[in-house]
Amino acid sequence: MEEVNCRMESILTSVKIFLGITEECTDFDNDILICINSVFSTLTQIGVPPAEGFMIYDKSIKWSEYILDYRLNFIKTYMNLSVKMMFDPPTNSSMAEVYESRIKELEWRIYILLDNESSGESGSEVEYEILRTLRKIGNNTDGIKDDTSVIKSNTERLNDNLIDIDSSVRDGFRLPERN
């Protein structure tokens, strides 16, 4: 079980497994890395920290080095679907539409989460950089306690916003203009 978790923690390996490629097969690694880094560029443009962007070069880079806010764990799904659409798109047009729809929904959810943060409702770039630095030097950040009432309030507010937009996501997708 620990071996599976370790493999899935690697960004490159987890994407390869989603694509149906074994970890041992390195024939497509360069092509997949280009796709992964392209998605990271898109995420940076959407506003996902770090502001200077993020890039991987091999399987040694782990998800925990990129996703420091566990509310953004669905970025893994966004990455997998986006890379799939670039690297090996479905031949069935219905399936391609499902993937595209899910990608758009995830982009919307990322946007809403980050928009709440930029309005001062939660998180900050400074907090992100502190957590990133702590992880780089190997400190265990699991012991850091957050104000649970603030987290609960922000989660409830986010859920209310997601319920309000759920029907508009199904009807079509358009990001509102950012201020």
How many angstroms separate the CA atoms of 127 and 133, rounded?
10
Q: In whole angstroms, what is the distance from residue 94 CA to residue 51 CA?
A: 35
What pLDDT score does 25 carry?
96
Q: What is the pLDDT of residue 128?
A: 57
Nearest alpha-carbon partner for 122 in 174, 177, 70, 76: 70
Q: How many CB atoms lie within 10 A of CB 49?
A: 23
Q: How many helices (H) and strands (E) does the chain have?
A: 7, 0
Question: pLDDT for 23-52, tens place per residue?
Answer: 999 999 999 999 999 999 999 999 898 889
The widest CA-to-CA distance across the chain, in whole angstroms, is 49
Report the distance separating Cα 116 and Cα 43, nearest Å.
16
Query: What is the pLDDT at residue 143?
Result: 46
Per-residue pLDDT of the chain (179 residues; tens, 9 = 90+): 444 454 568 999 999 999 999 999 999 999 999 999 999 999 999 989 888 999 999 999 999 999 988 888 999 999 999 999 999 999 999 999 999 999 999 999 988 888 876 665 444 555 555 555 665 565 444 444 444 555 556 566 666 655 555 545 545 555 555 55
Contacts of residue 97, defined as CB under 8 A and 6 or more positions apart, other chains included, come to none
1 SS3 class? coil
- Looking at residue 26, its pLDDT comes to 95
- Expressed in angstroms, the distance from the first to the final Cα of the chain is 46
Residue 95 to residue 75: CA distance in whole angstroms: 20
User: The whole model's pTM is what?
Assistant: 0.65
